[in-house]
Each structure stands twice: as structure tokens, then as C-alpha cells.
Amino acid sequence: MERKPVSDWATDFDIFDPEFVADPFPVFADLRERCPVAHTDRSGGQWMPVTYEHIAEITADTDHFSSVTVGVTGRKPGEGAILTAPPITSDPPEHAGARRVLLPSFSPKAVERLTPLTRDLARRLIVEIRESGDDVVDAADRYARHIPVLVIATMLGVPLEDEERFTDWAVRVLQIGLYDLGVGQAAAKEVLEYFKGHVEARRADPAPHEDLIADLMAAELDGAPLTDRHILGSAFLLLVAGIDTTWSSIGSSLLHLATHPEDRRRLVAEPELIPTAIEEFLRVYAPVTMARIVKEDTTVGGCPMHAGDRVLLSFPAANRDPALFEAPEEVRIDREVNRHAAFGLGIHRCVGSNLARMELQVALTEWLAAFPEFSLVEGAELEWTGGQTRGPRSVPVHLG
Ligand code: HEM
């Protein structure tokens, strides 16, 4: 799609500008120096603070900033029906209960139980790549993208054979849907219909189910069962929130290792460093940008924000702020102090962070054990997706 060139990133930024999508960090650094709260009239008007301090301030201020819609584009309140996906679209006081319902399924213990299954899956994908005999493979397409979707499908208790549909939904909601509202809405409707079918089938079948859909159906809030709208919205969120994000993180981490042989060799020699390296990959390649809607007029960094305005929360920008990180543009896989914001800040901080970390740990460990010498194909054209979730959609590598 043709896009009007940006006249000034402080007053006319475009989060879909292809160069920005591929590398937004020079823009963040420039804005931090001269205009730390940027504005644009594009996409219906948006603010974009780029310092950690301002982003943390907004996530902490639920009196002035609402999560009622968290998409970086799309309808605002009063512009038609908005999808509810508790707890991500819930404000206090409803938020706490909607979040509490999910927490046990994502606790460290629950995630630990999923580790063997995730490892088997990673190994199966590696066997498939080996058996194909291909020397060059797309690590994003043939490896990274499959792990999160199959794990969350298992957790939800829906058929793994539907994998391609889930991925297609995530892409239509979080990628194409940002440019083309109708595509996103149609996909969201299909996801809700899909889960409605699963909920109804469980109601008709007395056999007990042990999965996340069953947990949502059995959960209570203030002594009453969750409404169907709540159950379907949360199931939608879990499916969509976990796919694109972790796929992007595994993809960026593999891309980094495919282009930085010294880091790759070090992790092969010192696999105990992988958890620390993962935190650094999450910091520098943070995939997620969220949004808030201003509830009541307020100011951030001296900028007047009005009720109804959309404010972007660029966690990737927060993670490169020199006020918080020493040499933020450097990737140090042994960085010890690393309080990054890739999983968000405040009450909406990611519920799936334990799961995402485990998936990254398994994915990188198994890949490095299988292909210790992999490297990016020379001259490869990398394709990035951006907007809500930023990540490489193709990482063509030589296996060694
Ligand atoms: C590397 C992977 C991931 C990243 C970077 C990530 C990032 C985030 C961020 C930034 C938020 C905060 C949203 C906000 O402030 O509005 C969030 C919330 C959330 N994430 Fe994740 N996420 C990841 C993986 C997952 C996975 C695997 C799941 C579950 C399957 C998940 C489920 C959720 C849920 C349910 C929330 C809403 C929490 C709330 O509103 O209280 N995420 N995530």
C-alpha cells in the first residue's frame, strides 16, 4: 500500500511506515532527544510517548487511561461495537477478577508441566526439517510460528489439526486487521463462533474436560459463573495474544543468533546463559505495542491529552531508554540488570510471561543443540510485521 511519506516524526509519525517497521529505534532515539511525546493525525490521531518514565506513568494511571480498546488502530468508544477480551480490555474494578480467573493456568508450576510437551514439539519440528533434507530453511515459518500456537491449542483443549486456522486468525486480527478493519472484525467473529461451538459441545457432553475452556466455564466471579461473552472473549484473547507475540520473539532471537556468530557460539558453549540471553532478546526485540484511550483530559510530559485520544504504549521504545539501560542499543546476552518492559507494566502485565519464557527457552535450546552452526542466508530479504506486534516473518538460514 502506498503511504504518504512522514514529514516530521514528532508531529506526523506513521507506525506502519516500512522503514519504521523494519527499524524503529533511530526514530525513538531522535524523539527522546527533541519530542518525547510525539503526535500524529494519522489513524484517527495518536500520541506516542517514547520514554520508559512516561510509558510507566500511563500504565499506572488507570483513572485517566482506559484499556477498553487496546488496538493501535480500530474503533474507539462510541464508534460502534468493540470486542471485549477480558482481562486485557477490562479496567478496574472488573479487571482484577477477570485476571485472577486465568492466573492458575499460567503459574510457574502449570507452565513447568507443559515443558515436556513443548520440547517434544520442538524436536518434532526439527526432525521434519532434517528429514526434508533442505540446507536452507525459513526458521520463522518452519519452526518459530508453530510452537506457540500448538501449545496454546493444547492448553485450551481444541484440536491441533486446526493450527493453520488459528495462525490465520492471529494474522488477520493482529496484522492485516490493523490496516483493514473489516478483515480483523470478520476474523474476530469467526474466532468467537469457533469457541462458541466448543463451549456448546462441552455443555452437551457430560464427560469432564481438563483444559482452559473448561476452567473458564467452571470459574466464578462474585459468586456467579462467567457470562458466555466473558468466556468467549477470554478464550479469544488467549488464542490471539499468545501466537503472534511468541512467534515474533522466537523469530527475532533466531534472527539475532543467525547474524551474530559470536553470541551464537557463546550460547552453544554456555547454554546456562540462555535464560539471561532471552531477557536481553525480549528487551531489544520487544514485539508488543499496546494502546490506551484517554478517559479524562490530562497531561503527559506537558502534552495535553483529551478524552477520547488514543495513546500508544511502545514497550520497544521503553526498552531502549538510556535513562534505564546502560548502552541500550547494544545487545549484551549476559546483561545482568534488565528490568525490561516487553511484557508490559502495571496491572495488565502479561499473564502469559512464564509460558512465553518457557517456550523461548525450549525453542532456542533445542534449535542450538540441533543446528549449532546456522547463519542467515546472504542477501536475504527480511520481512517484518509491525504495528501491534513486531517480528520477522521470514528468517531464511543455512543450517550449517
Ligand atoms: C513473548 C511473548 C509475549 C509478549 C512480549 C507479551 C506481551 C504482553 C504485553 C505487553 C501485555 C500488556 C498489555 C497491556 O498493557 O495492555 C500482555 C498482556 C497479556 N498477555 Fe502477553 N505477551 C506474550 C505472550 C503471551 C502468551 C503466550 C499469553 C497466553 C497464552 C499471553 C497472554 C496475555 C494476557 C492474557 C494478557 C492480559 C493481561 C491483563 O490484562 O491483565 N501473552 N502481554
Assess if residue 3 is contained within a domain. no
Q: Identify the residue whose C-alpha is closest to ligand 1 atom 36.
A: 350
In the chain, the number of structural domains is 1
Assess if residue 5 is contained within a domain. no
Cell 464427560 maps to which residue?
A: 207
Contact present, 351 and 102 (Cβ < 8 Å): yes
Assess if residue 223 is contained within a domain. yes
Assess if residue 12 is contained within a domain. no
Instruction: State the closest ligand 1 atom to the C-alpha of 102, by its place in the atom list counted from 1.
Output: 35
User: What's residue 177's pLDDT?
Assistant: 85
Q: Which residues are registered as beta bridge partners of 299? A: 304
Instruction: State the closest ligand 1 atom to the C-alpha of 344, by its place in the atom list counted from 1.
Output: 10
Please give the C-alpha separations between residue 353 and each of 30, 74, 116, 163, 378, in angstroms, as whole numbers: 30, 26, 18, 22, 34
From the CA of 349, how far away is ligand 1's center (Å)?
A: 7
pLDDT, tens digit, for every residue of 316-358? 999 999 999 999 999 999 999 999 999 999 999 999 999 999 9
Assess if residue 8 is contained within a domain. no
User: What's residue 1's pLDDT?
Assistant: 61
pLDDT, tens digit, for every residue of 360-386? 999 999 999 999 999 999 999 898 999
Assess if residue 13 is contained within a domain. no
Pocket of ligand 1 (CB under 6 A): 59, 67, 70, 87-88, 99, 102, 148, 152, 237-238, 241-242, 245-246, 249, 287-288, 290, 315, 342-344, 348, 350-352, 355-356
Mutate to test the pocket of ligand 1, among 70, 248, 350 (most ligand atoms within 8 A of CB): 350
Assess if residue 150 is contained within a domain. yes
User: What's residue 208's pLDDT?
Assistant: 85
Which CATH number does the domain housing residue 353 bear? 1.10.630.10
User: What's residue 381's pLDDT?
Assistant: 87
Q: Which residues of the chain have pLDDT under 70?
A: 1
Q: Identify the residue whose C-alpha is closest to ligand 1 atom 43.
A: 350
Instruction: State the closest ligand 1 atom to the C-alpha of 357, by its place in the atom list counted from 1.
Output: 1
Instruction: State the closest ligand 1 atom to the C-alpha of 347, by its place in the atom list counted from 1.
Output: 41
Instruction: State the closest ligand 1 atom to the C-alpha of 345, by its place in the atom list counted from 1.
Output: 15
Assess if residue 301 is contained within a domain. yes
Q: Identify the residue whose C-alpha is closest to ligand 1 atom 15.
A: 348
From the CA of 85, how far away is ligand 1's center (Å)?
A: 12
Q: Which domain holds residue 385?
A: 18-398
